[in-house]
Structure 1
Amino acid sequence: MADINEAIKQVTEIVTPFDELEYEALLGEIQGNILKSHGRNHAVHLFLKFTGDPESVKQWIGNFSHKYVTSALAQAEQAKQHRQYEGEGQLFGNFFLTRAGYMYLGYNYEDLPNENPFRQGMKDTNIQNELGDDVEQWEDSFQQEIHALVLLAGDKIVGPRTQEAKLLERKNPELLHKQPALLAQQVEKIKTELANIATVAHEDIGYVLRSSETGAEMEHFGFRDGVSQPLFLKADIDKEKENSDFSKWDPSAPLNLVLFKDPLGKKDESYGSFLVYRKLEQNVKAWNKDVVNNLAEKLEASPDLAGAYTMGRFQDGTPVVLQNTESSQQPEENNFNYAEDNEGLKCPFHAHTRKVNPRGETPVPLEEEKMHRIVRRGINYGPLPSEEPETGAGLLFLCFQASLSNQFNFMQKAWAKERNFVRRDVGTDVVIGVEKKEKDNNGNLVAVTETYQWPTNWDESGQTEADFTHWVTMKGGEYFFAPCMSFLKSFAPAPTCNIVFRGVPKQELQAAQNIIDELRNYQQRNWGIGLNGETSEPDGFLRFFEQRNLPFKFYVRSSQVEIGDPSAYEEDIATLNKYIEDVRNQEIEASEYKIAELKEYKELYWAIGLNGDTLEPDGFVSFFGERELPFKFFVRSVVAVGDESAYEQNIATLNNYISFLCG
């Protein structure tokens, strides 16, 4: 890309990398989840406080990034493969750093991404005042210094029945609380790796709440979530245009809404994004009671309409400004503004969606107003809404932006918590305008109640005064930066790509070790490697390397030819040692996937060994056979083979195989 800076300013729509090659370099440098949600149903967030020496920490970051951190390009490729081939699900990873994290690694303050809130941190007194927070009300683990955030996300079942498992999960929300086996396994593995270089200061476990009927994302108060996001990819914009002509609201967004030049990137296309993380606890029981027993009764309205007045949309996502009843049979409606509701007789001015996205109601030009938008990537945590939790449940709020000052901080300070926005004395955002609690006369923390004006009757003159309490409490958070891929991967060498060999992996590892031993022998004798000294034909070393697409260094001294120098021995041995390590890691990773798959097949009581419908050998049989590992069948369909102990016996076999590889 000739002028990436100009491109960032001007591009409003970018195509996927499969439609056009122009943006592949840019997408390959940006972490995934920024331009488009990672789409997984489960996530774990690990907040790290580094303790090891900076070089060891960097080495771990590099290794983690090569294995887990997913670029926007890789995310798009995975999505395409999944759509076309129903391929195996893959874990998704992000890695973020705080200002303190950068400085722990040895970077100077002036070298960091230049945004004051990021450099100050969310615990800073001025930031606390600006956002209306109170750090004393945060969970203890958030009150300490945080250096980094690891995000790892995944879905249930990594094999060919992923979609079936997702559907079962949607129909039974209880399954949402159980992490996918692979995700849980890898998180524990990562924690073990971290033990020598960091402590896990805080951990959050998230899941996507979904409607059992439509599959739409929801939040704990029961409303559609993820509605009306800025759109960057042409495919997403085109899809939106199928239901909208954009006459009242254009959701497309320029890249400079979310991308910020990474000052430590290695390429012209090196961009990152600022991340806001806030743990927002929702008192579901009190909210439901307040909507039904207070607001709905006071307004003599249905609980559905009363709730829509608070959020700005009905629970199914229908904008209350468009109609006074929900309409789940219609496509999601996003092509609207508030031009025909100047008095707030349809949608109150303090409604959440109107406060944080006024859609042209501010005095500045619309395009300037739209640059205050954020890219939301939140996920739920805690007990299900059906349990009506009062504490310990809510939203893990994440959002990306190019400017903290002009986007999230502005939105929270000037819009959500400002009583005189968008009109004078309309009050704060009824949902997130006041996230901290007050102290009563006895010093106890209590939720803040505010008096608001509500439509007496939808779209009719007259308003009714009624109180409503802020049932969302901020429990902790921080500002992070999402570094570019070249920065993260620069800390460690990349693993061998496209490992190619035939035969049994254990035999391949031994063959590579034998070649190393033979190279040592040749080194002691100062014999040539790569070409036969007498015939100048390729020798066994060269053929071994070429068959595996490995780089080879020659060292030949004969009457016919002189190539290379004695350093070739050690370079080739180093190549093979890394190859052995990468083959082992690939085998360990593949085995861990199969263990996770077996665990989830066991949970669902699915057949293993033979497809329950066709009785053809399945992927488990192939996997075990290729490694000459014994396999136990368990099938209950047309035929009955084996028993339930087969799951655990096969898992034990793979664990023993992993132990061999590690040994």
Structure 2
Amino acid sequence: MTCEIKEIDINQIVEIVTPFDKFEHEPLLDEIQGNIIKSHGRNHAVYLFLKFEGDIEAAKQWIGSFTHRYVTSALEQAEQGKLYRQNKDVPGKIFANFFLTRAGYMRLGYAYQNLPNEDAFRQGMKDPNMQNELGDDSNQWEDGFKNNEIHALVLLAADKIVGPRTQEAKLEEQKDQSKLRQQPALLKNKVAAIKKELDAIASVVHEQIGYVLRDQNTGEEIEHFGFRDGVSQPLFLKRDIEKEREHSDFSKWDSRAPLSLVLFKDPLGTKHESYGSFLVFRKLEQNVKAWNKDVVKNLADKLKGSGQPKPDLAGAYTMGRFQDGTPVVIDQASSGKVPQDNNFNYQDDPQGFKCPFHAHTRKVNPRGDTSVFVSIPLEEEKMHRIARRGINYGILPSEEPENNAGLLFMSFQASLANQFNFMQKAWAKERNFIKRDVGTDVVIGVEKKGDDNIAVTETYNWPTNWGAQEQTEADFTHWVTMKGGEFFFTPCMSFLKSLAPEPSRNIEFRGVPKQEIEAAKGVIAELQNYKQRNWAIGLNGDTIEPDKFLTFFNQRKLPFKFYLQNQVGLGESSAYDDNIKTLNKYIEDVINQESDACEYKIAELEEYNVLNWAIGLNGDTLQPDGFVNFFGERELPFKFFVQSQRVSLGDKSAYDQNIKTLNDYISSLNRKVPSTVGRF
């Protein structure tokens, strides 16, 4: 009996049930990259913009190997999230994405007609016609974007890895925002290692470091102008939708979205579930000092009337929300509640007396305004939405930077033309949307400076008193400058993995890893000996019972090739070399996995060193901690450092000594281990 495989309909997939429940779409999540339908959630990220050079086959091999080792699928991301919510140990892993431009695909040898079919993607963001459409000016871009053809983008993200105290470390970052700019040791070390690998195949033409800026009191994500960020995203996962339902009945605004909002069929994929997404990356510099001055001096003063200046309300008029996220259309003063109400629209404010039409959030998410003013159905309007995944960069807002700080804007969408480009062209930079002469989006409506390189100032009408008809005319300057960007496609997992078809495997060691390597090398030597003698492998020639080779392979769940030349007649003589190849790959996988585990532990030790936390014994219980167990399992010497009222052990040199021990151990794994014939 055969079962017909039906093409999935992503237009009908709403409220995905995430893993560990009854789950219909697990193959789809396993095929798409993480971060598309749910933000990766890490506090720190690094972006490497690549230009492939030299051997293209080597570049493809690297991409495939990088994918197998690091790129995180949506399924793996969901599984990690589940473990985290259950307070279980989550592997201290790097989160990674890999993206390609049109030029990148073609550099790798893929024909133009076989690329994702979207005109904007094929044009690229630097194309003069695209510059005109989006209102950009590449002359003001940074050199890495302006002077190079970008082929690919690697995103690497992580939190501080400090084992069971990771949450404590995150709270430390929240209280002291300067720590948010300090890269986690794991991320810093991994980026350095990956850049060294890239030396042979590509140039890193631009590198960007990002961090999630958080409110020191609430922990909510904010951006450099001080407003809560990440509010009102389209929701795809049932868990997120149920959380939204806790404080919203969706009567005025339904945040749910079908997967067709963000997924586009990958033409190079081979599965029914092979989908990717178009990525927009834009580096948006924010002049915080000038913005703060403009809000207070040029706007708040004009709104005071006979009373005092209203900087909070003035800022809310520009963004459409107060800094804590409260929509200005439903309140004239910040309510201070978290989470803020997202169940609202603008039907009760048709004249813009509460929320101006040029306010950022009303411009880019009009919530039904188009159906009222230009007869566009709400469901059609909602398909212009994007899934935003931005992160901050540069100087902290508390220092009121004028440059070198802002937002690394990222968004996923199924169509550049119908989503980001439409939003930017027809809404944000259009003076007559949603009504005539309301002006451009006061935040991002004009990113190109004037001929004299001075930020553009517009005159807007603002409600003098919230909800009242009286309007005040006041100038406001566009303090956001586009510094460079590009359009990318997010390939499906199977396409990326196919570039290096032999993946690393997750190994469960039998005993100490170093001894396991020695044992595998011993089996290789024994197989070579049997090959010279033309002896049977897999089954004993006399008893036809499983032999020691087959037992060794079966214990490790490794594929095995038989070779017997007697009355049974099984296999071919190539089985010797095939099995040796399998074991060499197994040794490589053991070394890679063990090296990764040690690198994570090294990063953890580096973080503990910075925080001056005890290692070896838990500070409260004085029981052996994870470091002692890790070193003990590998029969490695460990140095304690505990300074408490009850115990004083070692000194601060213990951190560096333990790190050296692990580095030496990694080196020893990669050196030739003496073979011992017959170690079974």
Instruction: Give 1:226's aligned residue.
Output: 230
Deviation string, structure 1 residues 227-275 (Cα, Å, up to 9, x no partner)? 0000011111111111011111000001100000000002111000000
CA-CA distance at 1:6 after TM superposition = 5.0
Question: Which one of the candidate residues 61, 78, 92 is aligned to 1:76?
Answer: 78
Matched, 1:93 2:91: no
Deviation string, structure 1 residues 380-427 (Cα, Å, up to 9, x no partner)? 000110000000000000000000000000000000000000000000
Instruction: Give 1:146's aligned residue.
Output: 150
Question: Which one of the candidate residues 635, 638, 642 is aligned to 1:631?
Answer: 638
SS in structure 2 of the partner of residue 228 of structure 1: coil
SS in structure 2 of the partner of residue 446 of structure 1: coil
Residues 281, 408 of structure 2: 8 Å contact kept = yes
Q: Distance in 2 between matches of 1:30 and 1:508?
A: 35
CA-CA distance at 1:662 after TM superposition = 2.5
SS in structure 2 of the partner of residue 146 of structure 1: coil
Instruction: Give 2:415's aligned residue.
Output: 403
CA-CA distance at 1:7 after TM superposition = 2.1
Instruction: Give 1:273's aligned residue.
Output: 277
Question: Which one of the candidate residues 532, 538, 544 is aligned to 2:540?
Answer: 532
Q: Distance in 2 between matches of 1:424 and 1:29?
A: 45
Q: How does 1:33-44 map to 2 (within 5 A)?
A: 33-44=35-46
Q: Distance in 1 between matches of 2:464 and 2:300?
A: 11
Q: Distance in 2 between matches of 1:453 and 1:500?
A: 66
Matched, 1:596 2:576: no
More off after superposition, 44-53 vs 2-11: 2-11
CA-CA distance at 1:3 after TM superposition = 6.7
Q: Distance in 2 between matches of 1:167 and 1:496?
A: 35
> Which amino acid in structure 2 is aligned with residue 451 of structure 1?
T
Instruction: Give 2:458's aligned residue.
Output: 450
Matched, 1:369 2:359: no
> Which amino acid in structure 1 is aligned with residue 108 of structure 2?
L
Q: Distance in 2 between matches of 1:504 and 1:484?
A: 36
Stretches of structure 2 that go unaligned for 5 or more consecutive residues are 672-680
Q: Distance in 2 between matches of 1:457 and 1:3?
A: 61
CA-CA distance at 1:527 after TM superposition = 0.8
Distance 1:124 1:179, change over 3 A: same
Deviation string, structure 1 residues 344-392 (Cα, Å, up to 9, x no partner)? 1100110000000000111200000000000000000001100000000
CA-CA distance at 1:158 after TM superposition = 4.4
Instruction: Give 1:51's aligned residue.
Output: 53
Deviation >4 Å, runs of 4+: 1-6
Question: Which one of the candidate residues 162, 169, 178 is aligned to 2:166?
Answer: 162
Give me the TM-score of the superposition, normalised by structure 1. 0.98
Q: Distance in 2 between matches of 1:232 and 1:110?
A: 31
CA-CA distance at 1:131 after TM superposition = 0.1
Residues 279, 413 of structure 2: 8 Å contact kept = yes
Question: Which one of the candidate residues 512, 533, 537 is aligned to 2:520?
Answer: 512
SS in structure 1 of the partner of residue 667 of structure 2: helix
CA-CA distance at 1:583 after TM superposition = 0.3
Residues 69, 504 of structure 2: 8 Å contact kept = no
Q: Distance in 1 between matches of 2:622 and 2:361?
A: 53
More off after superposition, 387-396 vs 291-300: 291-300
Matched, 1:545 2:553: yes
CA-CA distance at 1:177 after TM superposition = 0.8
Instruction: Give 1:261's aligned residue.
Output: 265
Residues 158, 593 of structure 1: 8 Å contact kept = no
SS in structure 1 of the partner of residue 496 of structure 2: helix
Deviation string, structure 1 residues 568-625 (Cα, Å, up to 9, x no partner)? 0011000000000000001110110010000000011111111111111111111111
SS in structure 2 of the partner of residue 179 of structure 1: coil
How many residues are paired up? 658
Matched, 1:388 2:364: no
Instruction: Give 1:554's aligned residue.
Output: 562
> Which amino acid in structure 2 is aligned with residue 425 of structure 1?
D
Q: Distance in 2 between matches of 1:2 and 1:391?
A: 58
> Which amino acid in structure 2 is aligned with residue 380 of structure 1?
N
Q: How does 1:441-520 map to 2 (within 5 A)?
A: 445-520=453-528
Distance 1:496 1:393, change over 3 A: closer
Residues 34, 77 of structure 2: 8 Å contact kept = yes
Percent identical: 73
Q: Distance in 2 between matches of 1:28 and 1:180?
A: 28
Q: Distance in 2 between matches of 1:586 and 1:495?
A: 12
Matched, 1:324 2:336: no
Residues 162, 607 of structure 2: 8 Å contact kept = no
Question: Which one of the candidate residues 211, 217, 220 is aligned to 2:221?
Answer: 217
Question: Which one of the candidate residues 101, 105, 110 is aligned to 1:102?
Answer: 105
> Which amino acid in structure 2 is aligned with residue 609 of structure 1?
G
- What is the RMSD computed on CA atoms of the aligned residues? 1.2
Q: How does 1:293-372 map to 2 (within 5 A)?
A: 293-300=297-304, 301-362=309-370, 363-372=375-384
Stretches of structure 1 that go unaligned for 5 or more consecutive residues are none
CA-CA distance at 1:558 after TM superposition = 2.4
Instruction: Give 2:242's aligned residue.
Output: 238
Give me the TM-score of the superposition, normalised by structure 2. 0.95
Instruction: Give 1:20's aligned residue.
Output: 22
Q: Distance in 1 between matches of 2:58 and 2:509?
A: 32
Q: Distance in 2 between matches of 1:359 and 1:262?
A: 31
Residues 90, 158 of structure 1: 8 Å contact kept = no
Matched, 1:112 2:130: no
